[in-house]
Structure 1
Amino acid sequence: MSEQTKSGTVPAPAASGVRAPWEAVPAELRAAVEARLGAAVLAAETQSGGFSPGVAARLRLAGGRRAFVKAVSAAANPESPGIHRSEARIAGALPAAVPAPRLLGSFDRDGWVVLLFEDVEGRTPAQPWQPAELDRVLTTVAELAALTVPEPLPVPPAAERLGEDFAGWRRIAADHAAGADDLAGLDPWAVRNLSRLAAAEADWAAGAAGDTLAHSDLRADNLLLTDDGRVVVVDWPWACRAAPWFDLLLLLPSVAMQGGPRPAEIFDHHPAAAGADPAAVSAALAGFTGYLLGHAREPAPPGLPTLRAFQAAQGAAALRWLTERTGWA
């Protein structure tokens, strides 16, 4: 039997992967980090949140300063260096109005990509979600929804950034038609409505288009709450241009999964969703749900053994919301 909380509900999978320690970075690259920061690294504290298989550590420097380092090589996961390069391009160009850590520098050497950020003294939201902390985060989401993408910030439209990802139902349907997927383990409601889901997600891109700067990977593990009341949003490699409600929609299934309210209770009354086209929202939710549940049925990527369980739980929450929105039997 699965481990359960006192309330009888199964705990959400932790949003944490397998981090490499600071010492895993080659010595010459660690020396390059110290040269960039202008001080020796006295201590490194690995941060467990998130799914990158690379290094993510708070650095204590000689002289009392701090910094945050992210570093990864293709040996850990072949796609991770490209993700870090994307983050370096975007983080270095984010406008000051975005509540994100400042990029101090980055370099690409010997198969490693290294990013250096200002260190943020903060913590991720408590799990399960606490109402006051959720209110802080939702206020920040509303503020982000009001930010348009400035030029020349190098972020593509949502359709370009996520077009291949938001085709999960269509891939499942095609594989099933070809006899390569027996739909084992798929929710019975999704099996009954597979063709309708595939058709719905095909329309997501046009409805989600917009000029809002979307993070497109908002979850508790990408948020830091500071003692002075700020919410700092970290990890920006997937940023894109989208409708004002897009980040809110992507956030809410994880909130529900981690003990927060039902997504509809928040989305339907949030300022970022004011005036949203219901059909466009449902199409984007179909695409996101297909992405989560489609990937959850695949083998774990190299270096990311915990990711699929997290996607499966997040996808189950998204699917419940989708069944409510569609009303399909």
Structure 2
Amino acid sequence: MSRLPWERTPDHVRADVEELLGARVAEAVTQPGGYSPGAAARLRLDDGRRAFVKSVGAEPNPDSPTLHRAEARVAAALPPSAPVPRLLGSFDRDGWVTLVFEDVDGAPPREPWDTAELGRVLDALGDLAAAMTPAPIEAPTAAERFGAAFRGWRRLAAAGDPDGLDPWAREHLADLARLETSWETAAAGGTLAHADVRADNILLAPGRVVIVDWPWACLSAPWFDLLTMLPSVRLQGGPPPAEVFAAHPLADATDEGAVTAVLAATAGYFVHSARQPPPPGLPTLRAFQRAQGEIALAWLRDRLE
């Protein structure tokens, strides 16, 4: 995906950011990764300070400003102890939503996953769940946040005989649709989950792991972030998800049926979403979902057989 260069954002976006920061932008370096078609840049100001800015309008993807607005609300409310960048300010003007954060001196994990870096991230997920339990802010439940999206198997079953579906999934489609119906109860909990942890939403900084991009934050079981992250870890060269999940402290004393139900809903979401047309401005998203769906489905099949 091609990010919008900082220089091509509207004049009022750049003016608002410079007024907030109290200095002119001397350099803006676009940051790769992620699935927003807007600008995302590390800024160096003419007084030597740094900041990170992300800004998006309704073109080419009309949903992106809504996600930025949600992230602004969450980032403004998270406590200083949370492992997140500090929000310096945000703007919502003329259809453009802009967020300005402290610049984190870090980088995303390497691909394929490095064992030591993955270990740091997995430890950080445990620390994150502990820090976010009980949830420090009000947020929708996972069921409220994803109830409409996590109906993939039911939608595929309603379609009758979907072409191109994995043969095992086709054979067990009715069972998968029934299993999926219990995910909302299975995922319930009082932990504030990020709900979209992937390598491109992680920064490894000296002495800490920082989790960025929080528009999907919701209340869930403490292991929700771990489970939903692991298909992307495997896709990007990490170990099998079942192996990682079983070895993680967050999996201790989990209800196996609850884990299977949430995994079923996650797999169904990826499989169904990957079959839809690409969202405007996000041409690579469906391929990423398709690959994660294959991994999640294989994990689910192993749990059910």
Which bin holds the TM-score, normalised by the shorter protein? over 0.9
2:225 counterpart letter in structure 1: D
Q: Deviations over 1:241-290 (max 9, x none)?
A: 10011111001111111111111111112111111111110000010111
Aligned position for 1:220:
199
Aligned position for 2:110:
126
Question: 1:144 aligned to 116, 128, 133, which one?
Answer: 128
What does residue range 198-237 of structure 1 map to in structure 2 within 5 Å? Answer: 198-226=177-205, 228-237=206-215
**Structure 2 length normalisation: TM-score?**
0.97
In the alignment, is residue 38 of structure 1 matched against residue 16 of structure 2?
no
1:313 counterpart letter in structure 2: A
Give the superposed CA RMSD.
Answer: 1.0
Q: For the residues of structure 2 that align with 1:244 and 1:98, how far apart are their CA atoms?
A: 15
Aligned position for 1:12:
none
Contact 1:18 1:303 in 2 (8 A): no
| Structure 1, gaps ≥5 residues long | 1-16, 177-181
Q: For the residues of structure 1 that align with 2:23 and 2:226, how far apart are their CA atoms?
A: 40
Q: Secondary structure at the match of 1:92?
A: helix
% identity of equivalent residues: 61
Aligned position for 1:267:
245
Moved over 4 A (4+): none
Aligned position for 1:66:
50
Question: 2:13 aligned to 25, 29, 38, which one?
Answer: 29
Q: Secondary structure at the match of 1:261?
A: coil
In the alignment, is residue 309 of structure 1 matched against residue 293 of structure 2?
no
What does residue range 74-85 of structure 1 map to in structure 2 within 5 Å? Answer: 74-85=58-69
Q: For the residues of structure 1 that align with 2:72 and 2:98, how far apart are their CA atoms?
A: 9
In the alignment, is residue 56 of structure 1 matched against residue 40 of structure 2?
yes
What does residue range 147-296 of structure 1 map to in structure 2 within 5 Å? Answer: 147-151=132-136, 153-176=137-160, 182-226=161-205, 228-296=206-274
1:230 counterpart letter in structure 2: R
Q: For the residues of structure 1 that align with 2:146 and 2:201, how far apart are their CA atoms?
A: 19
Contact 1:214 1:242 in 2 (8 A): yes
Contact 1:18 1:52 in 2 (8 A): no
Aligned position for 1:117:
101
Contact 1:55 1:71 in 2 (8 A): yes
1:69 counterpart letter in structure 2: V
Alpha-carbon deviation of 1:299?
0.7
In the alignment, is residue 323 of structure 1 matched against residue 301 of structure 2?
yes
2:200 counterpart letter in structure 1: D
Contact 1:149 1:213 in 2 (8 A): yes
Alpha-carbon deviation of 1:303?
0.5
1:294 counterpart letter in structure 2: H
Aligned position for 1:9:
none
Q: 1:249 to 1:173 in 2, by over 3 A?
A: same
| Structure 2, gaps ≥5 residues long | none
Alpha-carbon deviation of 1:149?
4.0
Contact 1:142 1:271 in 2 (8 A): yes
Contact 1:149 1:241 in 2 (8 A): no
Q: For the residues of structure 2 that align with 1:308 and 1:28, how far apart are their CA atoms?
A: 33
Contact 2:274 2:289 in 1 (8 A): yes
Q: For the residues of structure 2 that align with 1:204 and 1:267, how far apart are their CA atoms?
A: 18
Q: For the residues of structure 2 that align with 1:186 and 1:48, how far apart are their CA atoms?
A: 32
Of stretches 18-27 and 297-306 in structure 1, the one that deviates more from structure 2 is 18-27
Contact 2:121 2:209 in 1 (8 A): yes
